[in-house]
Structure 1
Amino acid sequence: MPFSLAFLRRLPPRALSAWMALAFSLLSIVLTLVLTAAIERKATEQVKTSIGHGLAELAAQTSDKLERGMYERYREVALIAQRADLGPDAPHAQRRAALDRVRASYDYYSWIGMAGMDGTVQVAAQGLLEGADVSRRPWFRDALRGVHAGDVHDAKLLASLLPRQAEPLRFVDVAFPWLDAAGAPRGVLGVHLSWQWARDVERSVMRGVTQRRQAQALIVDAGGTVLLGPRALLGTRLALPSLGAAQADAKAAADGGYLVERWPDGASYLVGYMRGHGYGAYPGLGWTVLVRQNVADAYAPVRRLREYGLVAGVLLAALFSLAGVLVARRITRPLGELAQAAQQIRAGQPAAIEAGHGRYTEVRALAGALGALVDDLVRRRAELEELNATLEQRVGQRTRELEQALATVRASEQRVAVILETAQDAFIRVDLQGLVRDWNPAAEQMLGWTRAQALGRSVAELVVPEQFRPLTRAALRQFLQTGDHEIVGQRVERVLITRDGAEVPVEMTTGVAGTADGAFFSIFLHDISGRRQVERMKNEFVATVSHELRTPLTSISASLAMLADGMAGDLPPAARGLVGVANASSERLIRLIGDVLDIQKMEAGRTPIERTVQPLAPIAVDAVAAMRGFAAQAGVALALDASDGAGASEAAPCAAVDRDRITQVLTNLLSNAVKFSSPGTTVHTRIEAAPGKVRLAVADQGAGIPEDFRERVFQRFAQADAADSRRKGGTGLGLSICKAIVEEHGGTIRFESRSGEGTTFIVELPAAPATDMAVVAHGNAS
């Protein structure tokens, strides 16, 4: 300030530059110091809160990962206990091999075995503890009482059998009773989950944080005993305010929290806490996750922020004061040459700004700056045009390269097509009496019979398995009577037997050739053993990947939903829109994964089907009612039509079905019908009784199924509108799932469609007498 006053004394009286310099300097100093103090105060509070929430979030992430991991193991052990290949009638070697595979599939299974009702271990992975008495072990007794998860404990029987580790062996027990065919418990399946799993979970969440922020994570059981954490605290019992808050505060129990507290070592820590409450069917063990950081280390960023704020305030005040003086001096320079500069610009001439100290030279400087800016813009525009021209050349070059690559691909496709067309499959010619009349070398190699041995023999007796021979003869009689059969002209999969009695799966194409008197069946066989194996491996791979993707996707979807609900505060409109798009896409991925898992379970026979004789009308009523809200959003009406007697209790059409699965079929068909119907139209659901069958039909008034898509309707991921920009949502798995469910019930599903008039999907199920309202069958309990 003294420097400014001395500067003012040297200026002429009432100099504008002096007054403006003084005003700029004072305003800059006052505003800079006030804003710096306010920002520093607010930022300090926010940083403290952010640090605390950060520790609470780490605790919540660790707790969630622990609970979800335990849920996965809990559910996995429950499913293992239901496996048919581990039943009491399975051979001992088979049961041990199955348990070995289970243990090898998950490294943290330190031990897995099955004990009888007397507590004697009957079979175990790698034979560990077979014959040992575990009747007094808590996991054995608790499993029979309905408690399937036990807290952390030290190894006892296994301590001397398993390899030594740096840390003592500790386990978490998961156990379920295993049942016989009648549903009675025959023993307990127990798993010792290595506590090293929890250590790895903690490391995966705290990786980088431990070294960068000197933070430590602890896992404490419901009684306050440290299960995992620093070695000095392992096994000790803690009585901390954070543990009490985690157990008593309902909001903290759901979201976690943080506080500053003094620990037994005399140091003060900032502690984030979260108490687990299980996940899904897993009830939880009451573990509390604590993430602690020394207060001095935790709030070090706050101290640095204050120091930076003080230094920045002083520097900004000095900088703004100096800038104010400079700006004031330039603004108050004489403005005499402003008109000349304006005339030059108006005349289209460059306004040259000459260095000088005449009056209002700041206006000339401004004009020169504007002129330079215009010149710079012109230059940049020319450079941009040149860049665009170069870009067009590069795009053209890339387009030509893509065209060449496409031509190469097409040529490769043509070569592959030629190879496929010239490939030799097994060929059999059979006359109308079912006798072999021709037999090529490929058939000899595939089925083991030479041509001389096969000619003149019945094809059914030669290559058809014994259990399918009556059906083969019936199909031949049907063709002779009607001149038609459903497999003629179709590519179907069948199982044949070789000369050695081995079964071989084939893809069979049957055609009718020759004149009326000399007609014969032309049968081409393609061995699909390799393809079956690849499909099985593919299905197992898809199931595994889908299963592993579900957990992170669920977390992503939940996080996006919380963002959309304002958990992180009000978002800008553009960000809110992007969050909505991401949330919708994650939900669609979750549905896709769920459908893929359903398909895999059905193919593997792991989907339980509880079939009960019951009327179908109530099922249809419930399905239509469940879809009315969805249909109303699309402007589509739903109607339920029933033939005479279909809704009456005495004469209602009945079938032995699993109510939930048939409801799933109807809701899938109704969902498709609504999506492909125009607003203002009606989707009809009909129930009809036919001889020996019950028919369910869902009819829409949409555009119909395109001709080129009808053969692929029931294939997986098949969608009529399959482009990335399609208007209709869906995964393309719904109809495939419907077909699998209906066929599991011994029924059929088909469709009738006309372009512009709509589509009707028809489900036919074997009828059952209404008087027999009892459970008639059970599905596979995998």
Structure 2
Amino acid sequence: MSAASIVVLGIVFGLAVGVLFAVLIRAAFDRGSAVLDAQSTALPDGATAVISALREPALVVDGSNEVLLATPEAVALGLTDGRSLRHPELQRLLDEARRECRPQSADLSLPRSAAGARTLVLTARAAPVDAARVLLVVDDRSDAVRLDAVRRDFVANTSHELKTPIGAVSLLAEALDSAADDPDQVRRFAARLSAEASRLATLVQQIIEFSRVQGADPLEEAEAVPLDEVVRAAVEHTRVGAESKGVGVVIGKKSHLWTLGDRAMLTTAVQNLVANAIAFSSAGGHVGVGLRSRDGIVEIAVSDQGIGIAEDDLDRVFERFYRTDQARSRSTGGTGLGLSIVKHIAENHGGEARVWSRLGRGSTFTIRLPEIPAPASARTPRREKERA
């Protein structure tokens, strides 16, 4: 064998040995990494099943606060993006539990998103699983805190609103007593007393109605509601007020549109819009009520030719007890609750309430609701529809 051949064989043998060692080293590295991964992610027997069964937001992190396991509720709440925690406050709580080697808890207020549109109010509890891993369980109290704030605000506003008519009734009663010998004064004070009593009764009734729509879920026992009948009933309930003020109310042609919900609540919502339009219309004006369908959404629109609403007030007209014109509201008997009731009823039915208005040109309030097909028992042959 020549010297050149021996050199070539040596080179080939050296390459083969090098490749073999490289393969062995790579296999050893992979095996070691797999062992380390298993040690870092493996949870005690049954722990994964228990955590996955939790209905509360929960997750487990390793020593680097990397998420090993998270329930769908934790992801939906925005606590993690799948591998890491989104809030430094939670990381500090986990570090404290790991450092103290015992459970830790904290009440936290965290932004739901980067924009901070909604605040999460949480009670978070962290408990060590072992020297590195920590279990985090969260109680989301956001809705409870929000409802409690709404309740306190509502009670405060209601107390304030009730003071005015109650005080007026008390003063008028005293004035009536002092004017007992003057029949003209008695009649004048009695008329004002009657007006304040009527205003007080309306306010109390709307407070009761508002409390009912806030607590009710109309979709729990929902039924198919024919919106043509809702509109007709709402207009009929306001007919006396419209005639006494000389305002005409016009209903559009039959639409044969349906939605799912509570018929009485929907009638109340439309009635409030029509009554509001009549109250803010001048004698001889007209109010129009129409129905139409667009992209699976039913729209109930109530338009008037009244004084209109300033642009600065448009974003607040659906707030509780908000009045765009205090003096005008007193003269029309407005309570500031009617439009708020409309908004809540629309939202409770999976819809929304909108407003368009221009000063001096009038306003259009629209309730938008999900449309459903007409029930089979209510479907009318085409010829009968055309006659209708």
Shared fold, TM over 0.5: yes
In structure 2, what is the Cα distance between the partners aligned to 1:725 and 1:690? 34
Deviations 1:576-609 (A, max 9, x none): 1101111211221121122122222333348898
1:697 positional shift: 0.5
Match of 1:636 in 2: 247
- Secondary structure, in 3 states, of the residue corresponding to 1:770? coil
Is 1:705 the equivalent of 2:309?
A: yes
In structure 2, what is the Cα distance between the partners aligned to 1:754 and 1:724? 17
- Secondary structure, in 3 states, of the residue corresponding to 2:324? coil
Which of 151, 155, 177 lines up with 1:536 in the alignment?
151
Deviations 1:739-774 (A, max 9, x none): 111212222111111232211111111112212569
Which of 273, 290, 304 lines up with 1:686 in the alignment?
290
1:701 positional shift: 1.3
Which of 564, 567, 572 lines up with 2:183 in the alignment?
572
Deviations 1:9-36 (A, max 9, x none): xxxxxxxxxxxxxxxxxxxxxxxxxxxx
Deviations 1:269-321 (A, max 9, x none): xxxxxxxxxxxxxxxxxxxxxxxxxxxxxxxxxxxxxxxxxxxxxxxxxxxxx
Match of 2:354 in 1: 750
Is 1:449 the equivalent of 2:60?
A: no
Q: Any conservation in 1 of the 2:235–2:271 contact (CA below 8 Å)? A: yes
Q: After TM superposition, list the pairs within 5 Å mapping 1:308-347 onto structure 2.
A: none
Q: After TM superposition, list the pairs within 5 Å mapping 1:486-635 onto structure 2.
A: 492-493=117-118, 495=120, 500-505=137-142, 529=145, 532-537=147-152, 539=154, 572-605=183-216, 611-635=222-246
Q: After TM superposition, list the pairs within 5 Å mapping 1:185-584 onto structure 2.
A: 444-445=88-89, 448-450=90-92, 492-493=117-118, 495=120, 500-505=137-142, 529=145, 532-537=147-152, 539=154, 572-584=183-195
1:536 positional shift: 3.3
Gaps of 5+ in 2: 1-80, 96-109, 125-135, 379-388
Match of 1:717 in 2: 321
Which of 246, 259, 263 lines up with 1:655 in the alignment?
259
Q: Any conservation in 2 of the 1:706–1:755 contact (CA below 8 Å)? A: yes
- 1:607–1:601 distance in 2 versus 1, CA, 3 Å: farther
Q: Any conservation in 2 of the 1:700–1:760 contact (CA below 8 Å)? A: yes
Gaps of 5+ in 1: 1-433, 454-462, 466-471, 473-487, 507-527, 564-568, 647-651, 775-782
In structure 2, what is the Cα distance between the partners aligned to 1:437 and 1:732? 47
Match of 2:296, as an amino acid? G
Match of 2:142, as an amino acid? P
1:532 positional shift: 4.8
1:619 positional shift: 1.8
Is 1:730 the equivalent of 2:334?
A: yes
1:704 positional shift: 1.6
In structure 2, what is the Cα distance between the partners aligned to 1:532 and 1:691? 33
Deviations 1:690-721 (A, max 9, x none): 22222110011122211221121111100111
- Secondary structure, in 3 states, of the residue corresponding to 1:638? strand
1:656 positional shift: 1.8
In structure 1, what is the Cα distance between the partners aligned to 2:150 and 2:329? 30
Match of 1:536, as an amino acid? R
Greater Rg over alpha carbons, structure:
1
In structure 2, what is the Cα distance between the partners aligned to 1:571 and 1:607? 54
1:737 positional shift: 0.9
* CA RMSD across the alignment: 4.4
Q: Any conservation in 2 of the 1:721–1:728 contact (CA below 8 Å)? A: no
Q: Any conservation in 2 of the 1:623–1:666 contact (CA below 8 Å)? A: yes
1:438 positional shift: 12
Q: After TM superposition, list the pairs within 5 Å mapping 1:4-153 onto structure 2.
A: none
Aligned residues: 264
Match of 2:270 in 1: 666
In structure 2, what is the Cα distance between the partners aligned to 1:608 and 1:451? 40
Match of 1:739, as an amino acid? K
- Secondary structure, in 3 states, of the residue corresponding to 1:588? helix
Q: Any conservation in 2 of the 1:493–1:505 contact (CA below 8 Å)? A: no
In structure 2, what is the Cα distance between the partners aligned to 1:607 and 1:540? 24
Match of 2:148, as an amino acid? Q
Q: Any conservation in 1 of the 2:85–2:91 contact (CA below 8 Å)? A: no
In structure 1, what is the Cα distance between the partners aligned to 2:252 and 2:338? 23
Match of 2:214, as an amino acid? E
Which of 365, 383, 388 lines up with 1:761 in the alignment?
365
In structure 2, what is the Cα distance between the partners aligned to 1:696 and 1:724? 26
- 1:437–1:713 distance in 2 versus 1, CA, 3 Å: farther
Identity %: 30
Q: Any conservation in 2 of the 1:703–1:757 contact (CA below 8 Å)? A: yes
- Secondary structure, in 3 states, of the residue corresponding to 1:602? helix
